[in-house]
Structure 1
Amino acid sequence: MGILEARMKTDLAQIATNMSWLEKMSSVISTLLDSSVFKPLTIINIFNILQLISGTFVIIFYAVNLIEDIGGGNINNYLAAVVTAVTRLLFSSVASILLLKMSRRYLGMFSALGTAFTSLIIAGYLLIKEESPIDIYVIGIFLLLYVAASSVGLMIFPGLMVAELLPQRARGIGGGCNFFFFNLFIFIITKIFPTVSDLVGIIGVFTIFGISALLEAIFIYVALPETKNCTLQEIEDYFQQDNLLWITRSRERRNNEPFVVHKN
């Protein structure tokens, strides 16, 4: 923490108190384009886009409509929406415990793959199902598993990544920029969802969710660095290196020296 505090004081000392508005904007842009800020922001925003397309927030906003489309008149839509909300709360609480035990990357990939698997199972079952009394139970179970899988990782990672990946000197402006785009993406995706649903149907919707979640798992494997038990200084130093993709590092360095900066 002493080194981080020294860095922050140095950065603050370089900022003139009488800067004009144009100079302040130039300083903000310069900060955001710095590699130690731009790289984690890129990772966070790509993660957020894939997370949203995988249906995490669509399920929240359109739970009643989706359950009605899936179950027709055989389900109490509002009761089912409450059950999915309780499931989300429960597994978000479980995630807070798992974060203490598991690596960030493994938890993220587990959540994304679970979301992809359940989404594609729902799409496949809706495609081949015949009218049967058990249909509603099968679909209901996998829908709750989808909510559980997405809640245990994908839903909690955006805030976690802002806290862990962004350097201290840029956490305010970087976090603000990130949450601006995150909420903009939420607005766009939730607004276009009814149109997309009308075009591709409920089967197509869950297929899109599944493919996006699968891409999310691949992205986590390729790009998201492991930050568990690492200091903020080590994370900041990692993003100041040339590499952007975690997978480009050797297996030994990823496992044993995740954030060591090798100087010539």
Structure 2
Amino acid sequence: MNSDKHKKFLKIIALVSTFGGLLFGYDTGVINGSLPFMSQPDQLNLNSFTEGLVASSLLLGAAFGAIFSGKLADKKGRRKVIMSLAVIFFLTTLGCTFAPNAGVMILFRFLLGIAVGGASVTVPTYLAEVSPVEKRGQIVTQNELMIVSGQLLAYIFNAAIAGFSGGDGHVWRYMLVLATLPAVFLWIGMLIVPESPRWYATKGNLKSALQVLHRIRKKTRAKLELAAIKKSIEKERQVSKASFRDLNTGWIRRIVFLGIGIAVVQQITGVNSIMYYGTHILEEAGFQSQVALIANIANGVISVLATFVGMWLLGKVDHRPTLLIGLTGTSISLFMIGIFSLTLQGTALLPFLVLGMTVTFLAFQQGAISPVTWLMLSEIFPLRLRGLGMGVTVFCLWITNFLIGLVFPVLVDSVGLSATFFAFFACGLGALAFVGKFLPETRGHSLEQVEQYFRSFDDDNQTVRESQQAD
């Protein structure tokens, strides 16, 4: 296989596997436009609380899917788990499509969330393990791009289907069922792509690992990479992994709590209130339903464009100031939505101003906060802490996402749009204070240097205690 064929096959692998990300995006984004239709009395007859449950039950399922899929992928293989997730995506999408009532819908959205959470962990892991080191960042971030592209497609199809439905009350079912198509493509596609060579190597199957590497690398490089994989696996086996009991150690507790803080910071900006309820927000601001569906496409477009910018910025600027700038931009946008909703209620100008602010918000969120969040989470945990740290922080991220998705429609219904966004603005100020005070810069520092930074707090505290005892 010549060099061009290696590259083409690697592109096929990346395209096929990132359909897991596309499904992730579509299934989280489709609720944005379908929820108003399924809420109608002759459909699922949802109130503000059950609307929140329908939207957020997927996120609760994703929290558990993210936890269990990692260990399952280690045991059964990345490829088999992704194929299993494709089947779950397909079956649970059908369950949501034909749901006769809110209870069944919530159940199948929860089960669908298990697939979403599983894809959020397994697909990036698989991509990282098949990618050459010099292209790993570019290929892995393609999954992030596919997620926001899936959300954009959901917004476009929502608007198109609603526009051509002719007032059909079951229009939301057509919106949901489209997600079965990429699920089928993912399952069929995974039949033709190989298992991760690194997974084969961890199971002692070096022959299969080398065969896969020969399909995606030049012959000489394949042998060198297999040797590097073997060395890395041996190193990992010699490292004693941290457990929850190790949280009694100060520096470990500090770094895990910092990871939780970074994960929560990404969510409390309220980004997913816009990604899940953007159409509802624009309707509250004054747009008619069909106009709100079309206008909401702008949120999806800016998310995709900003993700490209964020991917370009990652290796060029420091992470901490990027995160601070992003949080400043999102906080100002939230504050302005609150101000506009309070002072211009009922005017023709309000919906356009709110749309402008949601677009601005997403430019800062997807261009700065989201890419830096995931990168820093991968950088702050040393090898022995990575399993514990990533497991806990990703779980907390999904739970925070779930809570925001659950309470947002209840807040809007009870206190109104302006007060809801003022609350998110206050959370944004808290996020800024947290990042400004506690977050170190990780760009340009090795994992060992980051670990030593956190260990130094314990060393300083020990010195103070010894000094006090001497006195």
| Bin of the TM-score, shorter chain as denominator length | 0.7 to 0.9
Residue 122 to residue 111, structure 1, CA distance change in 2 (3 Å): same
User: CA shift at 1:48, angstroms?
Assistant: 2.7
Query: After superposition, where does 1:23-42 map in structure 2 within 5 Å?
Result: 28-42=243-257
Alignment correspondent of 1:48: 263
Alignment correspondent of 1:76: 291
Name which of 86, 89, 94 aligns with 2:309: 94
Please say if residues 319 and 441 of structure 2, whose CA atoms lie closer than 8 Å, have aligned partners that are also in contact.
Answer: yes
Distance 1:120 1:156 in 2: 23
Please say if residues 54 and 208 of structure 1, whose CA atoms lie closer than 8 Å, have aligned partners that are also in contact.
Answer: no
Alignment correspondent of 1:207: 422
Does residue 136 of the first structure (1) align with residue 314 of the second (2)? Answer: no
User: CA shift at 1:30, angstroms?
Assistant: 2.7
User: CA shift at 1:171, angstroms?
Assistant: 0.8
Please say if residues 331 and 428 of structure 2, whose CA atoms lie closer than 8 Å, have aligned partners that are also in contact.
Answer: yes
User: CA shift at 1:88, angstroms?
Assistant: 1.0
SS at match of 2:368: coil
Does residue 198 of the first structure (1) align with residue 431 of the second (2)? Answer: no
Distance 1:50 1:208 in 2: 14
Alignment correspondent of 1:234: 449
User: CA shift at 1:160, angstroms?
Assistant: 1.5
**What are the superposed Cα offsets for residues 116-149 of structure 1, whole Å, 9 maximum, x if unpaired?**
1111111111211265443333322222101111
After superposition, the CA RMSD in angstroms is 2.6
Please say if residues 115 and 149 of structure 1, whose CA atoms lie closer than 8 Å, have aligned partners that are also in contact.
Answer: yes
SS at match of 1:228: coil
Distance 2:272 2:443 in 1: 26
Does residue 167 of the first structure (1) align with residue 382 of the second (2)? Answer: yes
SS at match of 1:193: helix
Residue 138 to residue 181, structure 1, CA distance change in 2 (3 Å): closer
Does residue 222 of the first structure (1) align with residue 428 of the second (2)? Answer: no
Distance 2:276 2:249 in 1: 36
**What are the superposed Cα offsets for residues 88-139 of structure 1, whole Å, 9 maximum, x if unpaired?**
1211221122222221111001000000111111111121126544333332
Residue 130 to residue 70, structure 1, CA distance change in 2 (3 Å): closer
Alignment correspondent of 1:254: none
User: CA shift at 1:222, angstroms?
Assistant: 0.7
Does residue 103 of the first structure (1) align with residue 318 of the second (2)? Answer: yes
The one-letter code matched in structure 1 to 2:334 is S
Residue 180 to residue 78, structure 1, CA distance change in 2 (3 Å): same
Alignment correspondent of 1:119: 334
Alignment correspondent of 1:157: 372
**What are the superposed Cα offsets for residues 141-168 of structure 1, whole Å, 9 maximum, x if unpaired?**
2221011112122222332222100111
Distance 2:361 2:435 in 1: 18
Residue 133 to residue 190, structure 1, CA distance change in 2 (3 Å): closer
Q: How many residues align?
A: 228
The more displaced of 193-202 and 31-40 is: 31-40
Alignment correspondent of 1:183: 398
SS at match of 2:370: coil
SS at match of 2:315: helix
Higher fraction of helix: 2
Task: State the TM-score, normalized to the length of structure 1.
Answer: 0.77
The one-letter code matched in structure 1 to 2:419 is G
Does residue 64 of the first structure (1) align with residue 279 of the second (2)? Answer: yes
Residue 102 to residue 35, structure 1, CA distance change in 2 (3 Å): same
Q: Percent identity?
A: 23
Higher relative contact order, structure no. (Cα contacts within 8 Å, ≥ 6 residues apart): 1
**What are the superposed Cα offsets for residues 28-62 of structure 1, whole Å, 9 maximum, x if unpaired?**
22344444432222112123324322211221111
Please say if residues 119 and 207 of structure 1, whose CA atoms lie closer than 8 Å, have aligned partners that are also in contact.
Answer: yes
Distance 1:85 1:40 in 2: 34
Distance 1:167 1:37 in 2: 10
Task: State the TM-score, normalized to the length of structure 2.
Answer: 0.45
Distance 1:135 1:191 in 2: 25
SS at match of 1:241: helix
The more displaced of 41-50 and 97-106 is: 41-50
Distance 1:113 1:203 in 2: 19
SS at match of 1:120: helix
